[in-house]
Amino acid sequence: MGNDDPRISAQTLRVLAALMTTLRDELSGAEIGREAKLASGSLYPILARLEDAGWLASRWEVEDPSALGRPRRRYYRFTALGATKVKEAFRPLAPAVWGLAWG
Amino acid sequence: MGLTNIAVAAGIFVVGVLGAAVSRLLADEAKAWTPRAVKTLIRVAVARLPEAQRSRRDEEWQSHVNDTPGDLSKLITAVGFIIASRRIRDFSIPIIGIGKEVRIRLQLTIWLFALIFASILVQMAVRDKDTRETIIIGFAVICLLMMAAKMTVIKNPHADEREAN
């Protein structure tokens, strides 16, 4: 964890923006994909890189899959490091949006 | 003339009805096979990942497909996992301490040495028939070079660490 910073491509920014602008603390991969309008082939490598760099943390849904009647979702959220890094990533790009999203 | 037109029209009608029935059957068939195809695609994608990540990605990707509406979208999403698994695998097993570009150059250099050495051995074999020992030793060296090229890819210890959570 906490490796070198990941490359911030336009797609990575979309993933970060999806997590930043959600009203919830965390989103599943499918939800991030929908918000960021990214296909699964691009989304998961980005999530893996961000997680490996320590920007994101993930956890399984706590409910029992047999009770849910479907596979558990994996939820992603920013770590403290990620929250700091994402501020740096977005600051030069969108100061107006920045204020709205983070207060 | 009138009869011919009626026959053509009847033929078109029959072909249309048959075509609709067949396409409906094909659509039903495709719908029935989609879950199995999706599972297979996820299984193939997961099998390409480092072992420590397989269980997690299997469940996570099945959940993703489950949350995706529409059979075609599910299939496209599952095909995407194949691409994702290749990218994640490439990213999960970088050589430790040096970058990807250096790794590629190193591998190319080693392969080039192996190729030059092999061509020298072939020339020796053609010119002189009594160089069997040299050739055997030479091929052993080539095998070692190939192993060295393979060993430039070392598993990233963080891959296991990440999946342990």
Q: Does domain A10-94 fall into CATH 1.10.10.410? A: no
Looking at the structure, tell me whether residues B143 and B85 fall in a common domain. no
Please give, rounded to a whole number of angstroms, the shortest distance from the CA of B27 to a CA of chain A: 24
- The verdict on a CB contact (< 8 Å) between A40 and B56 is no
ipTM rounded to 2 decimals? 0.83
Residues of A whose CB is below 8 A from B84: 40-45
Residues of B whose CB is below 8 A from A57: 165
For residue A37, the SS3 value is coil
pLDDT tens string, chain B, 165 residues long: the values are 577 888 888 888 889 888 888 888 888 888 888 899 999 999 999 999 988 899 999 999 999 999 999 899 999 999 999 999 999 988 766 545 556 667 677 777 878 887 887 777 777 777 776 666 777 777 777 777 777 766 665 444 444 444 444
Looking at the structure, tell me whether residues B52 and B12 fall in a common domain. yes
Last residue of a domain, one of B34, B67, B92: B92
Looking at the structure, tell me whether residues B35 and B81 fall in a common domain. yes
Cβ–Cβ pairs < 8 A, chains A and B: 78
Where do the structural domains in chain A lie, given as residue ranges?
10-94
What range defines the domain where residue B119 resides? Answer: 100-163
Residue B110 has which token pair? 């080693």
Looking at the structure, tell me whether residues B76 and B136 fall in a common domain. no
Contact between B55 and B47 under an 8 Å Cβ cutoff? The reply is: no
- The verdict on a CB contact (< 8 Å) between A40 and B59 is no
Looking at the structure, tell me whether residues B77 and B122 fall in a common domain. no
How much is the CA Rg of chain B, to the nearest whole Å? 28
The CA distance from B71 to B64, in Å, is 13
Last residue of a domain, one of B92, B117, B149: B92
